Chain A
Amino acid sequence: MEVDLAPGNPRELVLRNPVIPASGCFGYGKEFSGFVDVQRLGAFVSKGITPKPRAGNPMPRIAETPAGMLNAIGLQNPGISGFIRTYPPMWESWDVPAIVNISAESVEDFAMMARKLDDVSGVAAIEVNISCPNISAGGFCFGWDAAMSADVTRAVRAATTLPVIVKLSPGALDVVEIAQAVEEEGADAVSLINTLVGMSIDTERQQPVLANITGGLSGPAVRPVALRMVYQVAGAVDIPVIGMGGIATVPDAIQFFMAGASAIQVGTAAFARPRVLMELVDGIPGWLERHGHAQLSDIVGVANPRFRGDWTFEEVQ
Chain B
Amino acid sequence: MAHMVERAKTTREFVGEIIRVEPVMGDAVLTTFTAPKRAVDETHPGQFIQILSRDSTSYDPLLRRPYSVYRVDRVARTMTVLARAYGRGSGWLMQQPAGVALDVMGPLGSPFVVRPKSFHLLMVAGGVGAAPILMLAEQAIRDGKQVTYLMGANDSAGLLPASELPEEVEYVVATMDGSAGYTGFVTDLVPDYLQWADQVFSCGPEPMFRSLRAVIHKHRLGDRPDVQMAVERTMACGIGACLGCMVETRRGMKTACVDGPVFEMDDMLWG
Asked if B99 is an interface residue, CB under 8 A from chain A, the answer is no
Number of A-B contacts (CB under 8 A): 116
> Which residues of chain B (183-202) have a CB below 8 Å from chain A?
none
Whether the Cβ atoms of A271 and B237 lie closer than 8 Å is yes
Annotate B119-162 by CB proximity to A: 1 below 8 A, 0 otherwise. 00000000000000000000000000000000000000000000
Q: Are A271 and B63 in contact (CB under 8 A)?
A: yes
Interface residues of B in 40-77 (CB under 8 A from A): 52, 59-64
Interface residues of A in 260-284 (CB under 8 A from B): 268, 270-275
* Residue A309 CB within 8 A of the other chain: no
Interface, chain A (partner B; CB < 8 A): 24-27, 31-39, 47, 55-56, 59-69, 71, 73, 76, 93-95, 219-221, 248, 268, 270-275
Which residue of A33, A60, A68, A220 is within 8 Å of B7 (Cβ)? A33
Q: Which residues of A contact B10 (CB under 8 A)?
A: 34
Does B221 sit within 8 A of A, measured CB to CB? no
Could you say which of A55, A61, A69 contacts B63, with CB atoms under 8 Å apart?
A69
- B4 is contacted by which of A33, A65, A220 (Cβ under 8 Å)? A33
Number of interface residues of B (CB under 8 A): 34
On whether the beta carbons of B60 and A272 are closer than 8 Å, the reply is no
Which residues of chain A have C-beta atoms less than 8 A from B64's C-beta?
271-272
Query: What are 11 A-B pairs with beta-carbon distances under 8 A?
Result: A31-B237, A31-B241, A31-B258, A32-B239, A34-B12, A35-B239, A59-B245, A67-B59, A67-B62, A71-B242, A220-B59
The residues of A that contact B227 with a CB separation of less than 8 Å are: none
What residues of B have a CB within 8 angstroms of the CB of A60 in the complex? Answer: 234
Name the prevailing secondary structure of the B interface residues: loop
A39-B5 in contact (CB<8A): yes
User: Apart from A71-B236, A220-B62, what 5 extra A-B contacts exist at CB < 8 Å?
Assistant: A31-B241, A33-B4, A34-B11, A221-B59, A273-B103
Interface hits, B1-17 → A, CB 8 Å: 1, 4-5, 7-8, 10-13
Chain A residues within 8 Å of B13, by CB: 35, 273-275
